[in-house]
A = this chain, B = another copy of it.
């Protein structure tokens, strides 16, 4: 009863097999993969199963099908990006993702400082005040914090930044609230206020249109956050180097 996924469906097995063939290079991009009938006889499954596996691969962008002609291995560039180890992400995994997030956000802050329109700047300030408001109400401000960071990403004018951040955020942010619960309310309040002070520096730098200062402030902010997690990890992964 330890492992819960004994490869449930046949379709998944076939899919795994085909993915292995593609990623392993046995099926080069552009080549036609075996016909459905060939796969049914070779793998000993029904055509339904094969078709479902191929449909899944097509959804992942790994193959394209042409009716009457066959299914072809797509350009590998078409595949999506997934955070590694979607099941049971360990704390080291989360730290890795947070480092990636730091990289993107630091640059986002700088670009925002260069490019933010007045309207975008106002949105950032509003999001910042919303965190204040939540703190005054004595609440956590996870959602508000996320909105603040997203506002900065949107101010870059580059749609890739908010999109990627939203993707990363959905993997990282939820754990933060867990961490806060271990503190006493007083500690927690102090912690949140310090974070808000860091936020203030970021807002100031962006308002001043000072990219390098925005970079420094955002890096400080996220590095501290990262360090807090790293001490949590503690013995699990002490020195990586």
Contacts and interface: CB of A to CB of B under 8 A. Distances in A.
Nearest to A115: B241
Contacts of A164: 81, 100
A130 interface: no
Interface in A131-159: 156-159
A86 B111 CA distance: 24
A114 interface: yes
Main secondary structure of the interface of A (DSSP, over half): helix
B86 A78 contact: yes
Interface stretch (A34-42, A52-60, A188-196, A200-208): A52-60
A8 interface: yes
Which bracket fits the contact residues of A?
35 or more
Nearest to A78: B86
A97 interface: yes
Contacts of A174: 77
Interface string A60-83: 110000010000000011111111
Interface in A216-241: 240-241
Contacts of A55: 11, 52-53, 55-56, 59
A111 B102 CA distance: 12
Interface in A6-56: 8-9, 11, 15, 48, 51-53, 55-56
Contact of A161 (B51, B100, B106, B170): B100
B160 A84 contact: yes
A159 B94 CA distance: 11
A103 interface: yes
Contact of A67 (B8, B61, B83): B8
Nearest to A8: B67
A76 B170 contact: yes
A148 B220 CA distance: 29
A81 B78 contact: no
Given A81-B167, A107-B106, A159 B96 contact: yes
Contacts of A99: 107, 111, 156, 158, 160-161
16 contacts: A9-B67, A11-B55, A52-B55, A61-B86, A77-B170, A78-B86, A81-B81, A81-B163, A84-B159, A96-B159, A96-B160, A99-B156, A100-B104, A103-B108, A104-B104, A106-B107
